[in-house]
């Protein structure tokens, strides 16, 4: 024989059950009928790895690119970076700085102006073309950081990964005894239509002799 529970009693029992569940700290889905689980961000959901603009491998443990954004963070993690060499004078973006701090990546900033503001050496006057001022000593200091194995894997970047990054990598290639035509070919590959003959002139005149001992120890 089936016993029928009066509707009033069923209502009272349900109310008591709700109170008991609430006391245990359990949140019932039926109390929030419009709440849906949020989709995981792409990085957490196993989405594609997205490299930064103009990304490439320079050598074992050395990479180059343009300024990464949040879409590239998961890709950067896959590189197991120890440090970043940032070639712009502007403060590092807050979101990027937070990402570095959270993942134990050290930032080395060497501020090179990106605007065309002067000449690096008297010979460039013959070209009659304005040049983004590239302080040679700053390039040397950046190369010392890049070639120090304690800082590798390292990512070198400016904003677009073309001119400042291209000059630093070009000077590195001179240390590696690349022929000048190969240095220029690599520079032009990234700079493309934005290539500057004065950047190439800087790389041609860069004296790498004082840094040769750094590559000899690699």
Q: What is the CATH number of the domain that holds 185?
A: 3.90.190.10
Inside any domain, residue 43: no
From CA 152, how far away is CA 161, in angstroms rounded? 19
Whole-number pLDDT of residue 79: 96
CB crowding 127-163: b at 16 or more within 10 Å, else e: eeeebbebeeebbbebbebbbbeebbbbbbbbbbbbb
Spans in the chain with pLDDT lower than 70: 1-47, 114-133, 214-218
Cβ neighbours around 170 below 10 Å, total: 23
Paired strand residues for 132:
116
From CA 146, how far away is CA 195, in angstroms rounded? 24
Whole-number pLDDT of residue 24: 35
Inside any domain, residue 71: yes
From CA 163, how far away is CA 117, in angstroms rounded? 14
Paired strand residues for 64:
56, 156
Inside any domain, residue 91: yes
From CA 5, how far away is CA 112, in angstroms rounded? 81
Q: What is the residue whose two structure tokens read 């983004």? A: 132
Note whether 45 and 39 are within 8 A (CB): yes
Render pLDDT for 86-133 as a digit per residue (tens, 0 to 9): 999 999 999 999 999 999 999 999 988 765 543 433 444 444 444 456
Inside any domain, residue 161: yes
From CA 119, how far away is CA 202, in angstroms rounded? 10
Inside any domain, residue 8: no
From CA 146, how far away is CA 208, in angstroms rounded? 14
Q: What pTM does this model have?
A: 0.70
From CA 171, how far away is CA 188, in angstroms rounded? 14
Domain count within the chain: 1
Q: How far apart are the first and last CA of the chain?
A: 89
Domain range holding 88? 49-113+132-216
DSSP state of 143: H
Whole-number pLDDT of residue 133: 62
Inside any domain, residue 179: yes
Inside any domain, residue 2: no
Inside any domain, residue 124: no
Whole-number pLDDT of residue 135: 83
List, by residue number, the catalytic residues.
Answer: 158
CB crowding 107-124: b at 16 or more within 10 Å, else e: ebebebebeeeebbeeeb
């Amino acid at each position: 024989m089936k016993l029928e529970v009066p509707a009033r009693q069923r209502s009272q029992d349900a109310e008591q059950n709700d109170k008991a569940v609430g006391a245990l700290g359990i949140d019932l889905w039926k109390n929030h009928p419009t709440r849906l689980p949020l989709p995981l961000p792409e990085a957490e959901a196993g989405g594609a790895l997205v490299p930064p603009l103009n990304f490439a491998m320079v050598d074992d443990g050395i990479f180059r690119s343009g300024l990464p954004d949040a879409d590239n963070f998961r890709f950067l993690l896959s590189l197991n970076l120890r440090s970043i060499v940032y070639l712009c004078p502007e403060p590092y973006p807050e979101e990027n700085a937070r990402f570095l701090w959270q993942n134990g990546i050290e930032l080395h900033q060497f501020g090179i102006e990106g605007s065309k503001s002067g000449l690096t050496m008297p010979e460039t006057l013959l070209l009659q073309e304005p040049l983004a001022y590239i302080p040679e000593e700053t390039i040397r200091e950046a190369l010392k950081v890049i070639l120090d194995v304690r800082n590798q894997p390292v990512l070198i970047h400016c904003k677009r990964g073309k001119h400042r990054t291209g000059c630093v990598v070009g000077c590195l290639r001179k240390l590696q005894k690349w022929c000048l035509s190969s240095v220029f070919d690599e520079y032009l590959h990234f700079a493309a239509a934005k290539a500057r003959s004065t950047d190439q002139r800087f790389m041609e005149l860069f004296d790498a002799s004082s840094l040769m001992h750094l590559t000899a120890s690699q």
